[in-house]
Chain A
């Protein structure tokens, strides 16, 4: 037996080496997808290198459905683990911890999610628990009260870290009354009013199979897993009416520069975003924008980091990114600097943006960015957890394996003319939305230089639609 295995191994490695040297193209491994009769979409991908399995689920139950009850989606997702028909919370924690399994439930802006990692030998047990969490949560009121009071303290504690809160200030400032401005973790006044009944109602309305998906990747047999999931999840009742998406309503576009100054009395540095509207996930230029942003603020040698960190030592790091959702998105430049260098850093960041528009890219820098995004692409889909997450994202944002399989080709297809068009079309030139978290006494005058200033205190409750 031994020699045969060796031969196989050698042959494989030689072939693989050859492939990796001639073209580094990365393809998504084969997977199976199907729909249960209740509409639940399932993805299965076998991976046998490590005896573990990862599962992900995605459901239309994110913070955009909170309405006035900010924090509801997030608390509901957390409370799935407060006990089910078949397990008390204590029992659940003990069972999962004992076998070293993780099951996390959470809400994002648009969706609720579950992610899990467990040993292949424990699949029957863990899948039954996952089913119970999604189909039969109990919403125990004693557990809810504890969770809520912890959350209220945590909302206060977050204010100790500008980096933890600047994102939600920005979303509320940019999106205003649109549901994308909702604060995922909630705010004191809304969370303190939430009841366990609110959670039950939210669950009933939003945790349905027909707009949801589950994906399983790892060490299992597809045929058996298909039978197992069909039997576990077929009893899940689908929605009785068509689900509305509150986020499809129009997002208003800023008409001028505006500054939200968040005073933090003991701040030694200013943490700031310079932002603007961005793109939705299904934008046809998604990949091209990623390449251009890599050059502008997406890697160590990017224009922003080079200017603000390497050349001037103003900060430990400066970056930019596009955050994409189904119906819209945002762009931000993000960095921080000492109180006394606040103006220098903001001016420098704006100057880099001006340069991007004025000078565009050149062949060499574009080639570098293309090599970089291609080179860093495969490790993004290396683990079972990454792959199962990817497949629920494919479901949610409605893209398929061609995104992965054609990624290199799409990157290669970006030429200089198109790249410069991308800059003009998607990178903001004006009407910037600034968030500055820092010591108002030292930086308010500076803030006024950049636009109309709204000032709040970090200790005050965050308001929507500033």
Chain B
């Protein structure tokens, strides 16, 4: 959000010209293949850098599961110029903060800093991409950290255990089969060689998209990028993930034991990747089902029938075909089978009668508000521009998203419900205290 501190600027803002457009994103690609997307935004004296590496748990295999995420941690543990601890210490000394996240598909590094510190951020990022040093001592202490991360995730949410069980059941061959955090035994056995190979294969400038937003000029970003990042040599393209999950040919069910007040339920249907033509209709379908208290599932199952205390659906971004998930928690004294059947009843209604024009318009309105909130902060800009570039192949799709949602008709939504929400395509997971009867 821009801060109005100059009368001239105020005038400009009042004309409504300050809103963000696709043209406000400037792009260039370095000789080594590293692509940059830049948004100038002088609203606050800060800037950020988001680095999207196209590597995630889908690039792993059994024996090294969790390595992508572990590698994300190791990227903070020292390189040639900025040794152990110095990456964080230097960044914080310069007023910056950072974080990173790993998914099935990507590993994203995020730096947030006063714009005046931009140059040193480029220097530090270049240092760790060019010459990370993987210190065996750091590997050991960091192993304890990720084991704790895994443990605290399981300790604090039953969803963690249930969703990894459902994923493992829904995917029998494709690498979405294992959790991003990895298997505990793999986590205890990653080797130095695994890490070194991973770095060389995936942490190449040509496997990375960089987004910079904030109080810095495009020319300046380009100068820093050329000075610090362009000298890093490109690598061979990483091997393709060639496994395609075979079509599911019958319902799969899994039960998991954990002490909980009432049962937790997940239902997962195989659905296509982000670039597929059904993406927007499926996304709208997810909102129709669970966005807000007037949504189909909340209003029927939580409010009217009181079968559930919580209900949610999720259809996320992915490179390969993934899952459309339903999550529900049973109300007190409700049999989870009744809850499950009630969800199917709501799905059937959409398959048979479709959704209303009003419902469709509601979701389109919500999508526009979502777009506004995505461009309200410099971090929202970088994260979303990068996500669209990486998952949809073009950052411009972010700006087209409201229009793309607008194209969807009620028939499109009904059709994707019919196409994907079929019994043989689903995996059902139940987590409860008593699994013996």
Contacts and interface: CB of A to CB of B under 8 A. Distances in A.
Interface of A: 5, 8-9, 11-13, 15-17, 19-21, 24, 26-27, 29-30, 46-52, 90, 93-94, 96-101, 117-119, 146, 149-150, 152-154, 156-157, 159-164, 265-269, 271, 299-301, 306, 309-316, 336-338, 367-368, 371-372, 374-376, 378-379, 382-384, 387
Contact of B144 (A99, A266, A314, A367): A314
Give the 7 A-B CB pairs with smallest separation, nearest first. Answer: A375-B95, A313-B144, A100-B369, A156-B261, A313-B141, A97-B292, A100-B366
A96 B148 CA distance: 41
A316 B8 CA distance: 48
Contacts of A9: 12
A17 B309 contact: no
Given A98-B365, A162-B156, A8 B11 contact: yes
B74 to A, nearest CB: 12
Contact of B85 (A30, A310, A387): A310
Contact of A157 (B6, B40, B299, B329): B329
B293 A93 contact: yes
A97 B95 contact: no
Interface residues of B, number: 92
Nearest to A370: B95
A316 B145 contact: yes
Nearest to B44: A378
A160 B3 CA distance: 43
A149 B261 CA distance: 14
Contacts of A8: 8, 11-12
B272 to A, nearest CB: 26
Nearest to B138: A310
Given A52-B376, A119-B368, A13 B95 contact: no
Contacts of A150: 302, 306, 309, 331
A268 B295 contact: no
A306 B258 CA distance: 34
A315 B145 contact: yes
B376 A384 contact: yes
Given A100-B366, A375-B96, 12 more contacts: A8-B11, A13-B40, A46-B4, A47-B1, A48-B16, A51-B372, A98-B362, A146-B303, A160-B260, A301-B85, A313-B141, A336-B148
A375 B94 contact: yes
A52 to B, nearest CB: 5
A47 B44 contact: no
B145 A372 contact: no
A271 B155 contact: yes
B32 interface: no
Contacts of A314: 144, 148
A225 B350 CA distance: 42
Interface in B92-131: 92-98, 112-117
25 contacts: A11-B8, A16-B42, A26-B44, A47-B1, A48-B13, A52-B372, A52-B376, A93-B294, A96-B292, A97-B295, A97-B366, A100-B366, A118-B369, A149-B306, A152-B332, A271-B152, A299-B92, A301-B85, A316-B149, A338-B148, A372-B95, A374-B95, A375-B113, A378-B44, A379-B44
Contacts of A149: 306, 331-332
A265 B92 CA distance: 40
B373 interface: yes
A20 B215 contact: yes
B151 interface: yes
A152 B333 CA distance: 13
Contacts of B318: none
A270 to B, nearest CB: 10
Nearest to A48: B13
Contacts of B97: 299-300, 372, 375-376
B331 A153 contact: yes
Given A153-B261, A372-B97, A162 B145 contact: no
B152 A269 contact: yes
A24 B45 contact: yes
Among A50, A337, A378, chain B packs the most CB atoms within 10 A around the CB of A50
B30 to A, nearest CB: 24
A49 B42 contact: no
A163 B17 CA distance: 45
B240 interface: no
B372 A337 contact: no
Interface of B: 1-6, 8-9, 11-19, 40, 42-46, 85, 88-89, 92-98, 112-117, 140-149, 151-152, 154-158, 215, 217, 258-262, 291-295, 299, 302-303, 306, 309, 329, 331-332, 358, 361-362, 365-370, 372-373, 375-379
A146 to B, nearest CB: 6
A442 to B, nearest CB: 14
B92 A301 contact: yes
Given A50-B372, A269-B148, A368-B92, A161 B8 contact: no
B293 A97 contact: yes
Given A149-B306, A268-B151, A161 B156 contact: yes
A374 B379 CA distance: 18
A375 B309 contact: no
A148 to B, nearest CB: 12
A463 B293 CA distance: 33
B114 to A, nearest CB: 4
Nearest to A21: B116
A96 B369 CA distance: 12
B215 A16 contact: yes
Nearest to A375: B95
Contacts of A101: 369
B374 to A, nearest CB: 10
B259 A316 contact: no
Contacts of A16: 5-6, 9, 42, 215
Contacts of B11: 8
Given A16-B215, A98-B365, A149-B306, A50 B375 contact: yes
Given A16-B42, A17-B217, A375-B94, A146 B306 contact: yes
Given A47-B1, A152-B332, A161-B156, A12 B95 contact: no
Nearest to A25: B45
A163 B152 CA distance: 9
Contacts of B154: 268
A393 B302 CA distance: 34
B155 A119 contact: no
A18 B140 CA distance: 46
A303 to B, nearest CB: 12
Given A160-B158, A375-B95, A52 B151 contact: no
Nearest to B9: A12
Contact of B155 (A27, A99, A162): A162
Contacts of B358: 98
Contacts of B2: 47-49
Contacts of A367: 93
